[in-house]
A and B are shown apart, each in its own frame.
Chain A
Amino acid sequence: MDDAARADTFYAHVSGGGKVEPDDWMPDDYRAAVLKFVEMHANSELMGVLPEREWILRAPTLRRKLALTSKVQDEVGHAQLLYRVAEDLGKSREQMLQDLIAGKTKFHNVFHYPTRSWADVGIIAWLVDAAAIVSQQALRDSSYAPYARTMKKICWEESVHIMHGRDVVLTLMNGTDAQRASVQDALDRWWGPLMQMHGPPTNPETDRDLIWKIKAKGNEQLRQEFLSIYVPRIRELGLVIPDPALAYDDEAGRWAYTEPDWDELRSVVTGHGPKSQERLEFRRDARATTQWVRDAIIGPVGTAAA
């Protein structure tokens, strides 16, 4: 069978719900598409550490301290799991980390924004993680089997984070007026990025990630699922979602909302967010100051035996 025919058989296999293992033959297009997708996911987990890490030293009780450190630790663990999946597709971890800190590859929009208060820590753990888990659950069906298996483990761990975040938010909402106001303030700032997080709607006819079942659901479907579960849970606490147009349209069977600012999304994920450069610089610096440890333990880069 020549490669074109092989590729046709392969695409029919994945489009029909078939799975792919790392050692299976796969067309370069598919390999590149999975790698790009998983690499961005891994980058997002690693960069997603930073907004919350700043608050690890500030957690206000012993239990919060434990829960937040553990959550951030999980994100690092998820980055490792995902970089392992990506590495087995042929790009070294070293190269991926270098591309990340050089600004050549992307990470999710929500991790380009500042974490201003303890209430932000609660909103991030609750709602950012909730928006993420909606898409991650759909990835448990990915055609690339190692990715699908990894997502099963990650989803299981993420459900703890959402409970931690919801608990932080509920405690603040049951607290003083100032605490409640801080949650509303955090929600006001995070709502825009949350609505942009799943990305603009794509055309299912041409979205190759969907056709090849690397991902199982489209962006708009994920956003709708997020809104269906979380809008009632936010509103029942007396919080006001800062979008007057947000309402469930019974006839259309979907949520209507003000069009998210897609220009902001494009600008932010290409490194022009309020914290993009500072966080990349922080990561560059952390890599540089620990290079001697990797040299001592793993051996210097570029000396791999063939």
Chain B
Amino acid sequence: MRDKAGPHDRVWEVFRQEAEGDPMIHGGSVKAPDEELATHYAREFYGRRQESQRLWIVPRDAITELDDPDLLKPPFDRSFKRPGGFLIKHKLEAARERAGSPQVDEVAE
């Protein structure tokens, strides 16, 4: 079903940054006929409690979505792409023992 409201009734997605340095996170959306009003409304809905440091306001039709599992979650092993994919604990213990070094806890890499 198509939205029957007027021709200038556009949807804008709003992304917000909660604190300086934080990533931009999707907050929600507002409807507005143009960018200026969209900016004012984004401020109201995602900033009126002083909860945001920064907002991004993006027309929804500018967003391209990708959610195909064949592209994002392919079935073959990709563990070599993640740090957790390398199990070094026992190898490290053995290497230290061989070199006569003490066994210590490390800060995670």
Determine direct contact between A and B, CB below 8 Å. Answer: yes
A residues contacting B by CB (< 8 A) are 21, 23, 77, 80-81, 84, 87, 90-95, 149-150, 153, 157, 294-295, 297-306
Contact in complex: A300, B28 (CB < 8 Å) = no
Expressed in whole angstroms, the minimum distance between the Cβ of B42 and any Cβ of chain A is 12
Decide if A92 touches B1 in the complex (CB within 8 Å): yes
Assembly CA distance A305 to B3 (angstroms) = 10
Listed by A's residue number, 11 A-B pairs whose Cβ atoms lie within 8 Å are A21-B67, A81-B28, A84-B11, A84-B29, A92-B2, A94-B5, A298-B8, A299-B8, A301-B5, A304-B4, A304-B6
Contact B67 A84 (CB under 8 A): no
Interface residues of B in 49-63 (CB under 8 A from A): 49
With contacts defined as CB atoms under 8 Å apart, how many contacts are there between chain A and chain B in the complex? 66
- Is there an interface contact between A92 and B5, defined as CB atoms closer than 8 Å? yes
CB of B31 closer than 8 Å to a CB of A: yes
Most buried by B among A84, A150, A157, A298: A298
Q: Which of B8, B65, B67 has the most CB of A within 10 A?
A: B8
The 8 Å CB contact of B5, one of A150, A304, A306, is A304
Residue of B nearest to A83 (CB): B31
Report if A94-B4 is in contact (Cβ < 8 Å); known contacts: A84-B29, A84-B31. yes
- Residues from chain A with Cβ under 8 Å of B30 in the complex: 80, 84
Shortest beta-carbon distance, A38 to chain B, in Å? Answer: 14
Cβ of B75 under 8 Å from chain A? no
Q: Point out the residues of chain A lying under 8 angstroms from B8, CB to CB.
A: 297-299
Taken together as a complex, chains A and B put the C-alpha atoms of A233 and B73 apart, in Å, by 50
> How many angstroms from the CA of A198 to the CA of B92 in the assembled complex?
59
> In the complex, A298 Cα to B65 Cα: how many Å?
27
Assess A298 versus B9: contact at CB under 8 Å? Given A21-B67, A23-B65.
yes
CB-CB under 8 A from B33, the residues of chain A are 297-299
Report the Cα distance A21→B4, complex, angstroms.
23
User: 8 Å CB contacts to A: which residues of B20-78?
Assistant: 27-31, 33, 44-45, 49, 65, 67
